[in-house]
């Protein structure tokens, strides 16, 4: 499965790529909200992992713009903010939430949960 990872921290991006590749997925990198919007359209990912704190366009705005292009693509918020309100995240256009610091199994569990719905 092709998974777009929108993450501005190089170490977090590397870790996500390693985890996804280990589980047989094809990661696509985007380091800014703008790049995430562009790659969501051009690379046709099956799922997006979206950091919320990004330079210029944050993850909330990037998700809003991606939803204008493709309402059906699953987008999981990835954040270090203490956001335990999944209902609020859902209202903002996300399908799920992964808290940082994350562990590999949490990422894969959330991806599996979202894809099963």
Torsions phi, psi for 6 (to 5 deg):
-105, 105
pLDDT of residue 48: 98
* CA 74/CA 94 separation, integer angstroms: 7
Alpha helices in 9-103 (DSSP H): 10-22, 33-42, 59-69, 86-91
Q: How confident is the model at residue 85 (pLDDT cuts 50, 70, 90)?
A: low
User: Which of 100, 13, 97 is closest to 60 using CA atoms?
Assistant: 97
Tell the residue number behind the tokens 């799922």, with chain if given. Answer: 47
Measured CA to CA, the distance from residue 60 to residue 104 in angstroms comes to 24
Taking CA 19 as the corner, what is the angle to CA 55 and CA 102, rounded to the nearest 5 degrees? 60
Distance CA 17, CA 23 (A): 10
- Judged against a pLDDT cut of 70, whether residue 83 lies above it is answered with no
At 2, the pLDDT band (50, 70, 90 cuts) reads very high
All structural domains of the chain:
2-116 (3.40.50.2300)
Q: Which residues contact residue 20 at a Cβ distance below 8 angstroms, ignoring those fewer than 6 apart?
A: 3, 5, 26, 27, 107
pLDDT at 101: 83
């Amino acid at each position: 499965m092709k998974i777009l990872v929108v993450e501005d921290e190089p170490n977090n991006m590397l870790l996500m790529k390693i985890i996804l590749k280990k589980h047989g997925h094809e990661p696509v990198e985007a380091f800014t909200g703008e790049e995430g919007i562009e790659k969501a359209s051009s690379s046709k990912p099956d799922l997006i992992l979206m950091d919320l704190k990004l330079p210029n366009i944050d993850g909330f705005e990037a998700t809003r713009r991606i939803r204008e292009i493709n309402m059906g693509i699953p987008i999981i918020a990835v954040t270090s903010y203490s956001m335990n309100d999944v209902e609020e995240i859902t209202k903002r256009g996300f399908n799920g939430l992964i808290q940082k610091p994350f562990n590999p199994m949490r990422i894969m569990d959330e991806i599996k949960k979202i894809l099963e719905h």
